[in-house]
Structure 1
Amino acid sequence: MSTPDRTGRSGGSREAGMVTAETAVVLPVLLLVLAGAVAAVVVVGAQLRCVDAAREGARAAARGEPAAVVHELAAQAAPDGATTDLGVGETVRVTVAATVAPLGPLPWRVEVTATATGVREPAAGGPP
């Protein structure tokens, strides 16, 4: 309980004003932290989808699937707008890259990539 001041009123309204001021200062900081956490989750999710897409493409290429099938399988697992690069030799290499907008309409973009390699199976024959 607050003690009365010289005018006989308690200091409760003064304390309520302090709480309001502190909330007004802290609230934007909390919103920035929340936006940063959401952006991090979006970027990590896109990175994991690129990893999955690269692995799926590398498996298909190692089996000897045609390049069109490899690109299609990778595109199904990749984030929207991702590009797939296929390198074939004794080993196959699939790279999936995507540009992500973690904060939606805000003009901040992050590039995520993932590469997977695999040894061509003997029954796969020549390049896909």
Structure 2
Amino acid sequence: MRRDEGSVTVEAALGLAGLTVVTVLLVAGLMAMTSQLRCTDAAREAARLLARGQPGEAAAAVRKIGPPDARLAFERTGDEITAKVTAHPAANLLPAIHLDATAYAVAEPGTEVTDAPG
């Protein structure tokens, strides 16, 4: 009996397991990158709408453009508006990663943003 019988099967099984882990990590990374881009787009759109005095529409835009669990927070200091969108990527597949994007805008003359986004 040869001592190396079955070693090819074991090596193939280990190789497939490693390939599966790498594939899952690549997919999770791609989802995180896509979610970051969506956060950035949502923050930019929210800042634009807040500058126009439309906080309700800004919150709706974040829900529509951002990742599924995206949250909007904003702050107004004088005429400067800061919109921040935060989210967790890949449906919490990578729980240690938190995404956020910030966008700035200058309020249009005569607009007031007093309502918190919904």
TM-score calculated relative to the size of structure 2: 0.78
Give, in whole Å, the separation in 2 of the partners of 1:126 and 1:65: 5
Gaps of 5+ in 1: 1-10
Question: What's the counterpart of residue 20 of structure 1?
Answer: 9
> What is the aligned counterpart of 2:48 among 52, 59, 63?
59
Q: Which amino acid in the other structure matches residue 20 of structure 1?
A: T
Question: What's the counterpart of residue 82 of structure 2?
Answer: 93
Is 1:82 the counterpart of 2:75? The answer is no
> What is the aligned counterpart of 1:30 among 19, 29, 32?
19
Task: Kindly provide the CA deviation profile for residues 76-116 of structure 1, in whole angstroms up to 9, marking residues without a partner as x.
Answer: 1111121100112321111011123353xxxx423211110
After superposition, residues 83-122 of structure 1 pair within 5 angstroms as 83-89=71-77, 90-100=79-89, 101=91, 103=93, 108-109=94-95, 110-121=97-108
Q: Which amino acid in the other structure matches residue 54 of structure 2?
A: P
Q: What is the root-mean-square deviation in Å for CA atoms of aligned residues?
A: 2.1
Question: What's the counterpart of residue 116 of structure 2?
Answer: none
The answer to whether the Cα contact below 8 Å between 1:60 and 1:70 also exists between their aligned partners in 2 is: yes
Is 1:39 the counterpart of 2:39? The answer is no
Is 1:70 the counterpart of 2:58? The answer is yes
Report deviation, 1:59: 1.2
Give, in whole Å, the separation in 2 of the partners of 1:69 and 1:21: 57
The answer to whether the Cα contact below 8 Å between 1:86 and 1:92 also exists between their aligned partners in 2 is: yes
Give, in whole Å, the separation in 1 of the partners of 2:32 and 2:40: 12
Gaps of 5+ in 2: 114-118
Aligned length: 108
Q: Which amino acid in the other structure matches residue 88 of structure 2?
A: T
Give, in whole Å, the separation in 1 of the partners of 2:9 and 2:25: 25
Report deviation, 1:21: 2.8
Q: Which amino acid in the other structure matches residue 80 of structure 1?
A: P
